[in-house]
């Protein structure tokens, strides 16, 4: 008869083995200081990078096991316009006019160390305030919805 501690250890080892075989994402940000519109304050910039990285890691879990999604953010123009209020924190206002989100990225999908697909894409959503946004209550909801749509349409393998 197995002891509870042995059962827990076995379950943990199985979970770690399964996680090792699943898809993953490697995300980098190329020269954020030169990007069109990212947060000025370093904490806000870190939050934005963390948010996009975690989203892509979560989405990459839908890829076939063993595949690695690599994404390089080349330029980011967040939805809305920034209005400086105080030296450290700004206010971002979205009007639904010519202030839509734009992201320029380079990506590749690798399996067993070989690139199976790659490309460069300029994402933009001029209708960002229309329709349903599943990230509606999130910070960077418009950008997250745009990345999610790109991932579902262009990265996920077609289902038979």
Q: What is the pLDDT of residues 49-99, one digit of tens each?
A: 999 999 999 999 999 999 999 999 999 999 877 766 666 566 666 666 678
| Dihedral pair phi/psi, residue 80, rounded to 5° | 90, 180
State pTM to two decimals.
Answer: 0.79
* Residue 61 parent element (H or E): none
**Residues 35 and 62 sit within 8 Å (Cβ to Cβ):** no
Q: What is the pLDDT of residues 15-35, one digit of tens each?
A: 434 444 467 999 999 999 999
What 8-state DSSP symbol labels residue 33?
A: G
**Residues 60 and 69 sit within 8 Å (Cβ to Cβ):** yes
Where are the chain's structural domains? 23-155
């Amino acid at each position: 008869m197995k002891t509870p501690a042995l059962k827990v250890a076995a379950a943990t080892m199985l979970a770690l083995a399964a996680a090792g075989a699943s898809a993953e994402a490697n995300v980098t940000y190329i020269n954020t200081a030169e990007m069109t519109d990212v947060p000025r304050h370093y904490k806000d910039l870190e939050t934005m990078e963390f948010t996009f990285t975690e989203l892509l890691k979560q989405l990459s879990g839908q890829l076939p096991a063993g595949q690695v999604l690599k994404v390089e953010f080349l330029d980011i123009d967040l939805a809305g316009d920034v209005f400086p209020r105080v030296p450290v924190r700004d206010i971002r206002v979205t009007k639904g006019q010519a202030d839509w989100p734009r992201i320029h990225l380079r990506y590749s999908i690798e399996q067993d160390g070989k690139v199976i697909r790659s490309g460069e894409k300029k994402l933009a959503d001029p209708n960002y305030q229309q329709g349903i946004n599943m990230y509606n209550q999130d910070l960077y909801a418009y950008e997250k919805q745009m990345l999610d749509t790109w991932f579902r349409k262009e990265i996920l393998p077609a289902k038979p």
